[in-house]
Amino acid sequence: MNSLVLLNGSPRGERSNSMKMLARVAEGWERGGGRTPEVLHLAQRSEFDRAVQAFGESDVVLLGMPLYTDAMPGIVKLYIEALAPRVEVAAAGERNPTLGFLVQSGFPEALHSRLLERYLEKLARRLGSPYAGTIVRGWGEALQMMPDEANKKLWARLRTLGEQLARDGRFGEEELDAVAGTERFSALAAALLSVALRLPAVQFMWNRRLKKNGVWERRFAAPYRPALRTGR
């Protein structure tokens, strides 16, 4: 295990929380003896095409992404569909790279990412790729607001995972659990958090973002709600 391709599946590109985390895994990878990885952002069309090509040229591919409504971003889905020919490669007995994933979300509980994690593990099997594991992390949006110094423990654990990937070809379960943090809140903790999220200071932050992005007037939109039946 010497060559690694880091694929950033966040629409935010280089400034994303996913990239912040992938960068720390890469530092650990190099510390573990791997070569400096190639970094590609799927949100950039020229790099997307290179990412499809690079899949078959590296020992290890690590695909990172944010969780969007318990699923993957559209650009990641598009990338996965572009890998369809690699299924035939595996069926013919040729090697596909070891495949690992990173899923981070704004949700505080890790369980929100577990369904996507199960899909990604199945994807690795379909591609005939050795599965390195999936790094799951909540509170991802906090990485945009907190200084790096405040995330020292998280960065250290991500570097350890990178070292494990370079040395063992997979992530260690104990370290994955440590990075994931809270799997699910207790009933009491969930109730307290529900109250805290209604505090004016928290609402102010989200309201400011809604206004900044020009969607304040549509904040109660429910495009997927079934149309109400009339005449009854």
- The percent of residues in the chain predicted with pLDDT above 90, rounded, is 71
Task: Read off the pLDDT of residues 88-114 as tens digits, 9 standing for 90 and up.
Answer: 988 898 889 999 999 999 998 999 999
pLDDT at 232: 47
Task: Read off the pLDDT of residues 119-143 as tens digits, 9 standing for 90 and up.
Answer: 999 999 999 999 999 999 998 888 8
Task: Read off the pLDDT of residues 139-153 as tens digits, 9 standing for 90 and up.
Answer: 888 887 788 888 999
Helix H or strand E encompassing 102: strand 98-104
Enter the pTM of the model: 0.87
DSSP 15: G
Q: What are phi and psi of 100, to 5 degrees?
A: -130, 165
Domains and CATH numbers, the chain: 4-180 (3.40.50.360), 187-218 (no CATH)
**Pick the residue with more confidence: 200 or 30?**
30
Instruction: Characterise 116 by phi-psi region: left (phi > 0), alpha (psi -120 to 50), beta (else).
Output: alpha
Average pLDDT of the chain is: 92
Is residue 32 a contact partner of residue 163, using CB atoms and an 8 Å limit? yes
pLDDT at 47: 97
CA atoms within 13 A on the CB side of 123: 25
pLDDT at 229: 53
Spatial separation of the C-alpha atoms in residues 176 and 101, rounded to whole Å: 11
Q: What is the mean pLDDT of residues 31-37?
A: 96
Q: Tell me: pLDDT of 231 over 80.
A: no
Is residue 1 a contact partner of residue 29, using CB atoms and an 8 Å limit? no
Query: Tokens 């570097």 appear where?
Result: 159
CA atoms within 13 A on the CB side of 210: 13
